[in-house]
A and B are shown apart, each in its own frame.
Chain A
Amino acid sequence: MKPQVAFFDFTSCEGCQLNKLNFENDLLDILKHVDIVEFREAMDDKADHYDIAFIEGSITSPSCVERIHDIRRRSDVLVALGSCAVNGGVNAMKNLHPIDEVRETVYGEDKYLFATLPAMAVSSVVKVDYEVRGCPMTQQDFLKLLIALVLGKQPPKYGSPVCVECKLKENECLYNRGMVCLGPITRGGCDAVCPSFGQFCTGCRGILDNPNIDGMLEVMTSHGISLDEAKKRMLLYNSNEVQL
């Protein structure tokens, strides 16, 4: 029987979900391998058990916590999709400010109306078996994971920095253009899409294991931005991962 898969979204922009709906060319091939049993953005159905549950979004409220536990209980394999789910992503930036201040900025004196928690990675609440990184996750990356699971092999892990793919594509390095880029310490796998389109890497796939953070800050500041600015850049997607 084809694996029964389901998609769930937590606090996020749903860009990763949308990226799945954008599989115009591959959608029919994908449906040969799996049965989609739950996908709120696209369908009404729901199921009790999932072979693979794909989770998008961060955990940011008590009700999210409850719901993710429930999904985990009903899933054999749980995959975090996108940087919000994998490490908190941009949502985690709010963790850098005192929570009351954050609420006040948005809701003023009604700040206690809605419950909120620090933005957390799915893995800090339940066990995550695999992850697809990126903001948004790329379709290619998602497909690789799906095919790997279908073939029963380990999905790719991506231990090399974005610079590797950037170099293989023979891009002009943004540092040579006077820009500042997070490629050297950011986990690759995106085909260096931002630098290839002339834009700096924002670190959306997370920081590599054992990064040289001080070295990276030095590189950034020696290319013309302040230490404060460099730190902010580094934290854009990685407020939960990097301690500065």
Chain B
Amino acid sequence: MKRLQDVEHHETEDLYYPTMCKVIGAKQITEMEKWYELEMPEGQSLGHGPGQFVEVSAFGIGEAPISISSSPSKNGKFELCIRQVGTLTNVLKNYETGDSMGIRGPFGKGFPMEKLFGKDILVVAGGIGLVPLRSLINYVLDNRKDFGRLIILYGAKTPSELLFTDELKMWKDRDDVELHVTVDQPDETWKGNTGVITTLIPSLDLKLNTTIAAITGPPVMYKFVVMSLKSKQLPDDQIYLSLERRMKCGVGKCGHCQINGVYCCQDGPVFNYVDIKPLEEAL
């Protein structure tokens, strides 16, 4: 048990003060999602790893956890992509280049990159789940020779909800990326796959001993993706999932994000499947 006398004053932190970061780029990329590029003040670096998140705030409105969408390779600058679903996110919709956002973080455990080096990476992203996984994808692409195959499965409800379409095209065109996109409800223009994301899994040809899966998506998605991967005999400890919970502090204090005994914000949001398999509240 941690005791008062074990702690020195300088080890304590003002945990709740944000750093004001300038928006240096902003673009509404779908009807519901807006992309932002931000810059840390005075050339500081955010120093994040793929899969980590920040707490974004606007004074008078509130704070919300948002994944860092860019690869750590970009120094001093980072990107977010925010879906407009509630109080804060709807106000952030109006933020443009030149405005400032309050940023705390980075928080949480991202993908354990040391375990991913040299492996085949299977990214499974549902909807907005592509946002945190994009930091991983771009990191892999920036350090392409350190990894094996990069397989990206991406599903959205409709073609108009697909995020980062420019990048999707780029990935599609690269021969070192295997991209499979599907939509639940196609429109007239849609020529690709149709159906939920799990329909993409059975035909995959995976090298079981070297493949690491990284999954993010809406709550309902995880169970089915994990089931499909398991039916392909992918070992449990090679599956990573990034989970979403309500969060207020990001630093393991407010209690909202608990999944049974673990804190999504500190022990996650990226979890190894083995660690959360026994947790009834996880999936």
Contacts and interface: CB of A to CB of B under 8 A. Distances in A.
Contacts of A154: 86-87, 90
Interface in B49-63: 60-61
A115 interface: no
A200 B94 CA distance: 44
Contacts of A153: 60-61, 87-88, 90-91
Nearest to A147: B60
15 contacts: A151-B60, A151-B61, A151-B91, A152-B90, A152-B91, A152-B94, A153-B60, A153-B61, A153-B87, A153-B88, A153-B90, A153-B91, A154-B86, A154-B87, A154-B90
Interface in B79-109: 86-88, 90-91, 94
A179 B82 CA distance: 49
Interface of B: 60-61, 86-88, 90-91, 94
A178 B59 CA distance: 44
Contacts, number: 15
Nearest to B88: A153
A207 B152 CA distance: 47
Interface of A: 151-154
Nearest to B61: A153
B256 to A, nearest CB: 13
A143 to B, nearest CB: 14
Nearest to B59: A151
Contacts of A152: 90-91, 94
Nearest to A157: B87
Nearest to B91: A153
A150 B19 CA distance: 26
A154 B88 CA distance: 8
B229 to A, nearest CB: 35
A154 B61 CA distance: 9
A152 B90 CA distance: 9
A202 B129 CA distance: 45
A151 B91 CA distance: 9
Nearest to A156: B87
Contacts of B90: 152-154
Nearest to B93: A152
B9 to A, nearest CB: 29
A142 to B, nearest CB: 18
A154 to B, nearest CB: 4
Nearest to A155: B87
B266 to A, nearest CB: 25
- In the A-B complex, the 6 residue pairs with the smallest Cβ-Cβ separation, listed nearest first, are A154-B87, A153-B61, A153-B87, A153-B91, A151-B60, A152-B91
